[in-house]
Structure 1
């Protein structure tokens, strides 16, 4: 249940691909409802390159009327082990649809680095900001390395990452966000003892179907936002079916949205206290996340890990909030073109 007491100041750390964008839009809907404040968006190299994730974040903000929000820029990670996920999300991370949206209003060359944005905001508002990280943890780790102890100044850190009692999605054991930069992930897990983790164990059950997407956009189906959302869904469903991510069900996994489900609808998830470690050296297990299930694990616990999700409750809340965004988008469009009333 949402109440005014759940108002949160949030920094969204993201590498916009398809599921990131749905989480992004859900957050913007919550902001429009007065239930959250988006302090900044910090883009990160991941699903696609640093320039593309920055541009995508800027375009989504512009499309929804939030172009005043700061966007931090990441730096390309020199990786030989793993490539990006453009084959899943499109070359631009948005289903190759970026050309259909208004141009980015933020300039990459003039933007501050994402780790600097995180450090400055946490120092300015200690104990008030929730970090929601839905990409590789490069920016958070860079902030911690540059300013040791800075992540303890966050009110809470919620991440979409890891796979514990299920297969990985980039290797037999590893989830993409961790695998992309496991060293960064371990730095984040070492930074405090209450990291909240939304792993594949729960997100693999969150399949968004075409009917769900249509139900969200029906309030204003001809808007640019609606047409973008439907086209993005079609692209993501195509790749999900190609890579057999949904067991043949037409739809795609909105992994990253689980972070907002936890923050605003915690009753839809069941979490357990855990000691989480990241494999950074294994030849076959690099990027694997491990829970120490031994009796002593809780003594050294560093995380809360979600292992079960109420799918019906999750999607009921998710879709209801997205519909609010489209209703406000319709109102904004009417005002922009002159309402007949």
Structure 2
């Protein structure tokens, strides 16, 4: 099969970096058209630099990086330095990126790319708040019918929230954007906390990255070592969840995941449950299906895939 043409919309923290690297390490499977960057884990200036740093680390400085929205549609920006560190990529010292940020706005790049390429050929992989994608849909509604699928990390059902009791971070940061995207009629694949919490970054798994005889393996081991310390303290677990790479892994190996077609609605009005993903798992409403909601995976196969692909990186 030809590679999937994909735009990765992201707010690079440690787990975004792993997701980007997994896509880069799979050149037979993905044509990465560009990274579109949004504020989220840290402010936009840092997420833009982090995207460039990760691509240069992985030997792909040719992939363009576009700066996008620096704040949510309506809410004040909430960031997560308490999780990712002040840079968003704490755990490793990477040199300042050398390749300039691509000219133009991320939203314009999404619109122009989707409209100029054949219908149904540009997949969006969303790893952060959905602000860029929502603005693109609002500015050019015709792209909705041309996007075959959005594969996104966000939301939760049985796991509750990780930024509030009710909400997962990516959806919470810009619930209005999420509501627009979820209502756009584009097929969605949602990788929520329900599945990401089932694949912990245990010390043994991190050591598999550290043992790789390249620069990327040990570098990403350092990122994962830093990222897990917050979740270990929070959840009382050994290791922490590895959220964003599951989007790319699902596109590569959907057979190692399982879920259900459901309706998901986004709460935007309540201050108590802002950003909650209301998942109609048992079909108790007449709301139409709008997403494949993933709840389980073969976690060993997931890490086998990561290590196998990372071995091909520089």
Matched, 1:91 2:91: no
Pick from 29, 40, 43: which aligns with 2:37? Answer: 43
2:311 counterpart SS class: helix
Q: Which structure 1 residue ranges, 4+ long, deviate > 4 Å from structure 2?
A: 78-82, 293-299
Q: Distance in 1 between matches of 2:186 and 2:115?
A: 20
Aligned length: 312
Matched, 1:168 2:168: no
Q: TM-score, normalised by structure 1?
A: 0.86
Shift of 1:15: 0.5
- Are the aligned partners of 1:12 and 1:42 in contact in 2 as well (CA < 8 Å)? yes
Matched, 1:216 2:209: yes
2:176 counterpart SS class: helix
Q: Deviations over 1:287-335 (max 9, x none)?
A: 000123464757611111112222122222222222222xxx1xxxxxx
Q: Distance in 2 between matches of 1:279 and 1:150?
A: 24
Shift of 1:152: 2.6
- Are the aligned partners of 1:43 and 1:114 in contact in 2 as well (CA < 8 Å)? yes
1:324 counterpart SS class: coil
Q: Residue 111 and residue 296 in structure 1: after superposition, are their counterparts in 2 closer, same or farther (change >3 A)?
A: same
Unmatched segments (≥5 aa) in structure 1 = 330-341
Shift of 1:43: 0.8
Q: Distance in 2 between matches of 1:102 and 1:140?
A: 30
Name the structure 2 match of 1:111: 103
1:62 counterpart SS class: helix
Written as runs of structure 1 = structure 2, the 5 A alignment for 1:110-149 is 111-125=103-117, 126-149=119-142
2:183 counterpart SS class: helix
Pick from 292, 303, 306: which aligns with 1:315? Answer: 303
Q: Deviations over 1:223-279 (max 9, x none)?
A: 3x34422321221122222323xx321x22211111112111011111211111000
- Are the aligned partners of 1:170 and 1:176 in contact in 2 as well (CA < 8 Å)? yes
Q: TM-score, normalised by structure 2?
A: 0.93
Q: Distance in 2 between matches of 1:295 and 1:41?
A: 36
Pick from 290, 293, 303: which aligns with 2:291? Answer: 303
Pick from 249, 252, 271: which aligns with 2:259? Answer: 271
2:98 counterpart SS class: coil
Pick from 225, 245, 260: which aligns with 1:234? Answer: 225
Matched, 1:16 2:4: no
Q: Distance in 2 between matches of 1:297 and 1:15?
A: 34
